[in-house]
Amino acid sequence: QQPVQSPQAVILREGEDAVINCSSSKALYSVHWYRQKHGEAPVFLMILLKGGEQKGHEKISASFNEKKQQSSLYLTASQLSYSGTYFCGTPRDGSSNTGKLIFGQGTTLQVKP
């Protein structure tokens, strides 16, 4: 079951904040966030694990509500470099294999000067 992301697209001015949400109909072991710029490889941002552990980059924060099976990615004081498409991924079949993911449809973020 593919996770559902919202919103589908966001346009911001530099310095503004954004929140991207990811919901799943299945119980989650972990939620993974990636950013992909046009024509480039997806790049790892963060993983949130059941139990509250987070591993990721310093300037991005996220939350993981296990009961609601939701995760949110918080982008604060956005910079032009934040532009891209953000994907959340959840493990296939409840697996703990961090490479076998089902990705959402993506949220396109555009930051304008």
Give residues 8-27 in contact with another protein (rule: CB under 8 A): none
Under rule CB under 8 A, residue 100 binds another protein: yes
Q: Read out DSSP for 17-68?
A: -EEEEEE-SS--SEEEEEEE-TTS--EEEEEEETTS-EEE-TT-EEEEETTT
Under rule CB under 8 A, residue 43 binds another protein: yes
Nearer to another protein, 16 or 98 (CB): 98
Which residue among 21, 63, 83, 98 contacts another protein (CB under 8 A)?
A: 98
Greatest alpha-carbon pair distance for the chain in Å reads 42
Phi, psi of 106 (to 5 degrees): 95, 150
Nearer to another protein, 16 or 36 (CB): 36
Under rule CB under 8 A, residue 83 binds another protein: no
Nearer to another protein, 78 or 90 (CB): 90
| Gyration radius from the chain CA atoms | 13
Instruction: With CA atoms as reference, report the closest residue to 110 among 9, 19, 35.
Output: 9
Under rule CB under 8 A, residue 42 binds another protein: yes
Residues at the interface with another protein (CB under 8 A):
2, 30, 32, 34, 39-44, 47, 55, 87, 89, 92, 97-106
